[in-house]
Chains A and B, each alone.
Chain A
Amino acid sequence: MVVAEKHVEVLPPRALALDIEQVSHQFSLHGAPLPVLDQVDLHVEAGEFVALLGPSGCGKSTLLRLVAGLDRPTQGRLLVDGREIGKPDPSRILVFQAPTLYPWRTVWQNVAVGLEARGLLPAENRRVDAALDLVGLRAFAKALPHQLSGGMSQRAALARALVNDPSLLLLDEPLGQLDSLTRITMQGELVRLWQRAGFTALMVTHDVEEALLMANRVIVFSPRPARTTASLTVDRPYPRHRDDPALQALRQEIFDLLGFAEA
């Protein structure tokens, strides 16, 4: 590789670029088709942190499931680094809104699930310890999920994703169920993790401030069936502050796009 000062060269080679081309998707509800995504087009650069913002129930989570490979789109194509997404792959990991740890496994065993499923566990169990260190749960390695608080559970779920060294991390409102203090802490931690590990991040949220604090770019969705209505670049250094005037201006712009007249 040619060493250059270009932004792309700094990234680890494993970050993935994502292309979503004319993707439409529909469910069937009581026999009638329910369109949830309408011709969504989106390009995400390798190493970018993109927030998907839109009203609740608009179909953002469905889009993440399609990227994860858990469902196939009704129409259109999804490509990572030019290859079409067929089935789930540990290079693209989805962190769900609820931590959903396996209650019969300890925290360590939960984090190890991905390595175990791929037969890598005996050789690479140090990665589990490292992932637990990363989210600050080393001391709770032997705890059972029901002994954890909500924030700790979500951090364990994050470690379970990160231990696989994903190239594309899909975050489905990962902080949605946390109290506001834990949430602020975790926003900072997630950004630091992304900066350190260098994966591409795609995060669904309905919190405008959260999107602006964390992402390089914010994609605004319309109500269901979702289509992209705007893409706003957030060109501010980290760590960001919520009273940054540039962020305030963007916030107002997004509220206008979402159809709220802010007082």
Chain B
Amino acid sequence: MSSLADAQVVRRPHVRATRSIGWGGILAGLLWLGAATLTALWPNADDWAYTDGLAAAEAMLGAGLLLSGGLGERLPRLSARTRGLAPWLGLLAAVFGAWELATAKLELLPRPFFAPPQAFIEVYLDDWPRLGDSVLHSLWLLTTGYLIGALGGFITGVAIGWSRVVGYWVHPVLRLVGPLPATAWLPLAFFVFPSSWSASTFLIALATGFPVTVLTWSGIAGVNSAYYDIARTLGANERFLVLKVAIPAALPHVFVGLFMGLGASFSVLVVAEMLGVKSGLGWYLQWAQGWAAYANMYAALLLMALMCSGLITLLFRVRDRALAWQKGLLRW
């Protein structure tokens, strides 16, 4: 059975953890110390704030890695983690060093379009109130629109999949309107809705709703008919068939729709914020570009990437819980 195979997989890192010194961690630590030295001692071509701060942070990371590599026996859990991350951390040290060289030290890349690493620190420390506000606004808009769209799409999908009458009336509308990119509604939405915020919520809901509807519908339509026969012979009524048989059986499809909807909602969010809404990360990007504040733009892009990745991760967690019964789930 599968438990045997699992046990073998789990045991492997354990065996390797008996090796006392983590050379990978030590190498990555040395690389970071190198990057720190380069940042601190090589004079900047121009005036950049927080150069020393960057060097200090790099040095601390390097020292930490050295310690965890050397003290593998004392801190087995920490050293096991850094062992896995060491190749990536080493590569990142090299990238940071090269980046620092190409921008702040040698100015090989044209200014002001490329910012050195310390410029990120400057943006995050100086402009955090505005950035934080933008993140919160983006999250609030996205969450509202996404939840409305996901819920509406799910209910519509179940209804179309279950009821022939609903299918008859809704299917043609869905076929005509669904494939239209939600952003095509932008001009109309901005003058029909009372505020740009409500218009954007609607557009995000629309972009989310279509894939969720179609995949929920196909999930419900594809349920093994034997599942219904069994429930019916055991005395199930219609309500039980929908809630306890059709929906759980369709859930894997529903989650595919939810992932597609989340991706679509990100792009609508950014477009809506760039074109109408006066807050949020999309707006911040536009604003930073307008002032030629490219460092701010990169910093906001990084935040946006973290936000989107975080939301996808969150959805994966939800799915892992809801579909824990499936075997061979993809791990994000």
Inter-chain CA distance A89–B234, complex, in Å, is 7
Closest 6 CB pairs of A and B: A114-B234, A117-B236, A90-B235, A104-B325, A88-B232, A118-B235
Instruction: Determine whether B251 belongs to the interface, using a CB cutoff of 8 Å to chain A.
Output: yes
Inter-chain CA distance A68–B237, complex, in Å, is 15
- A237-257 with Cβ < 8 A to chain B: none
25 contacts across the A-B interface (CB closer than 8 A): A90-B235, A92-B233, A94-B229, A94-B233, A96-B230, A98-B226, A100-B230, A102-B227, A102-B249, A103-B326, A104-B248, A104-B251, A105-B325, A113-B231, A113-B244, A114-B234, A117-B231, A117-B235, A117-B240, A117-B244, A118-B235, A144-B325, A146-B325, A147-B1, A160-B234
Q: Are A90 and B233 touching (Cβ within 8 A)?
A: yes
Q: Are B244 and A116 touching (Cβ within 8 A)?
A: yes
B242 to chain A, nearest CB (A): 12
Inter-chain CA distance A88–B238, complex, in Å, is 13
B2 to chain A, nearest CB (A): 7
Interface residues of chain B: helix, strand, loop or mixed (majority): helix
Q: Are A96 and B1 touching (Cβ within 8 A)?
A: no
Inter-chain CA distance A107–B9, complex, in Å, is 26
Q: A113-B236, A117-B235, A144-B325 are in contact. List 17 more A-B contacts (CB 8 A).
A: A69-B233, A90-B233, A93-B233, A94-B230, A100-B226, A102-B227, A102-B245, A102-B248, A103-B325, A104-B249, A113-B244, A117-B231, A117-B234, A117-B236, A118-B235, A146-B325, A160-B230
Q: Are A117 and B237 touching (Cβ within 8 A)?
A: yes
Given A116-B244, A117-B240, A147-B2 in contact, is the A100-B227 Cβ separation under 8 Å? yes
In the complex, what residues of B have CB within 8 A of residue A98's CB? Answer: 226
Inter-chain CA distance A68–B251, complex, in Å, is 29
In the complex, what residues of A have CB within 8 A of residue B309's CB? Answer: none
In the complex, what residues of B have CB within 8 A of residue A100's CB? Answer: 224, 226-227, 230
Chain A 188-216 interface mask (CB, 8 Å, partner B; 1/0): 00000000000000000000000000000
Instruction: Determine whether B11 belongs to the interface, using a CB cutoff of 8 Å to chain A.
Output: no
Inter-chain CA distance A252–B326, complex, in Å, is 48
Inter-chain CA distance A65–B237, complex, in Å, is 18
In the complex, what residues of B have CB within 8 A of residue A114's CB? Answer: 234-235
Q: Are B327 and A146 touching (Cβ within 8 A)?
A: yes
- Of A92, A93, A117, A147, most buried by chain B (CB within 10 Å of CB) is A117
Chain B 1-33 interface mask (CB, 8 Å, partner A; 1/0): 110000000000000000000000000000000
Q: Are B1 and A68 touching (Cβ within 8 A)?
A: no
In the complex, what residues of A have CB within 8 A of residue B234's CB? Answer: 90, 93, 113-114, 117-118, 160, 164
Interface residues, chain A, with chain B CB atoms under 8 Å away: 65, 68-70, 88-90, 92-94, 96, 98, 100, 102-105, 113-114, 116-118, 144, 146-147, 160, 164
Interface residues, chain B, with chain A CB atoms under 8 Å away: 1-2, 224, 226-227, 229-237, 240, 244-245, 248-249, 251, 323, 325-327
B251 and chain A: residue at smallest CB distance: A104
A63 to chain B, nearest CB (A): 15
In the complex, what residues of A have CB within 8 A of residue B224's CB? Answer: 100
B2 and chain A: residue at smallest CB distance: A147
A103 and chain B: residue at smallest CB distance: B325
- Of A65, A89, A103, most buried by chain B (CB within 10 Å of CB) is A103
A91 and chain B: residue at smallest CB distance: B235
A98 and chain B: residue at smallest CB distance: B226
A252 to chain B, nearest CB (A): 36
In the complex, what residues of A have CB within 8 A of residue B1's CB? Answer: 147
Inter-chain CA distance A90–B245, complex, in Å, is 17
B236 and chain A: residue at smallest CB distance: A117
Q: Are A96 and B226 touching (Cβ within 8 A)?
A: yes
Q: Are B229 and A70 touching (Cβ within 8 A)?
A: yes
Inter-chain CA distance A103–B327, complex, in Å, is 10
Q: Are B233 and A68 touching (Cβ within 8 A)?
A: yes
Inter-chain CA distance A22–B327, complex, in Å, is 48
- Of B1, B233, B249, B326, most buried by chain A (CB within 10 Å of CB) is B233
Inter-chain CA distance A164–B234, complex, in Å, is 8
Inter-chain CA distance A102–B227, complex, in Å, is 7
Inter-chain CA distance A65–B229, complex, in Å, is 9
Inter-chain CA distance A88–B237, complex, in Å, is 10
In the complex, what residues of B have CB within 8 A of residue A92's CB? Answer: 233
Inter-chain CA distance A118–B232, complex, in Å, is 11
